[in-house]
Structure 1
């Protein structure tokens, strides 16, 4: 199986960092691994985006057949209430519910499957979880 997750992640990062409105919202901070302090607590300025879980399912046994890629993208805010994290979620959903350019692959389907907002247990942090789904086919 040829897993398109890494080039898909690169495409997501490129789209997010290229957007002026998203830059205003998160200052270009999108992490694969969130920087943490010695206690394991996220450090640095909020807000930001980070990659969560990712899954790939393959629809056939060939190495070029279509793959469905699912990625959770998390948006984090420490502003009071939900407004900031909801702006981040809305903008990210608008940007990523699109046919991205994924190196070595053709995007067959694309959509944001879910937006979920929640408060973290610390009582200070709000989060949006975007569940992204892309159907990809190895480029000819």
Structure 2
């Protein structure tokens, strides 16, 4: 049986890489592990958690997943533009996952931060999902 959060991550990465509007901004750079020679801007699938939410006859999960945007452009405009395209790409059509049932998926918040290096703008986007295993 496949992990719901792993399936969700795969669906998200596929959707982001297929988004023409996002690719125009980040050249298709979506990573799980960032290569040493990565060019800015890029997107990473960040931290997350999976909490059991079982009820009678249903193995349920509450999933929280961060998607991070990394930019070296001046200020926050590039990070904000990329994060907006990510939100749009994941909003419609509804995501599906291969084995498990994705009951709900939504964008909860985006935080914009200046990294300690003083050069990098960073957007942390948090998404929440409910999934059920068959």
Q: TM-score, normalised by structure 1?
A: 0.87
**1:123 paired to 2:115:** no
Corresponding residue of 2:101 = 106
Matched residues in 2 for 1:93 and 1:127: separation? 15
Q: Is there any run of 5+ residues in structure 1 with no aligned partner, and where?
A: 37-42
Q: Which sections of structure 2, spanning at least 5 residues, go unmatched?
A: none
In structure 2, how many angstroms separate the alpha carbons of the residues matched to 1:18 and 1:112?
19
CA contact (8 A) 1:2 1:63 kept: no
Query: 1:55-134 residue pairs with structure 2 within 5 A?
Result: 55-60=49-54, 64-98=58-92, 99-134=94-129
Aligned match of 2:20 = 20
Deviation string for 1:94-122 (max 9, x for gaps)? 22234211111222111111100011111
TM-score, normalised to structure 2's length?
0.91
Distance 1:2 1:62 in 2: 20
RMSD: 1.9
Q: How does 1:31-70 map to 2 (within 5 A)?
A: 31-36=31-36, 43-60=37-54, 64-70=58-64
For 1:123 and 1:28, the matched residues in 2 are separated by 25
Q: Decide whether aligned partners of structure 1 residues 128 and 65 sit closer, same or farther in structure 2, where only a CA change above 3 A counts.
A: same
How many pairs does the alignment contain? 133
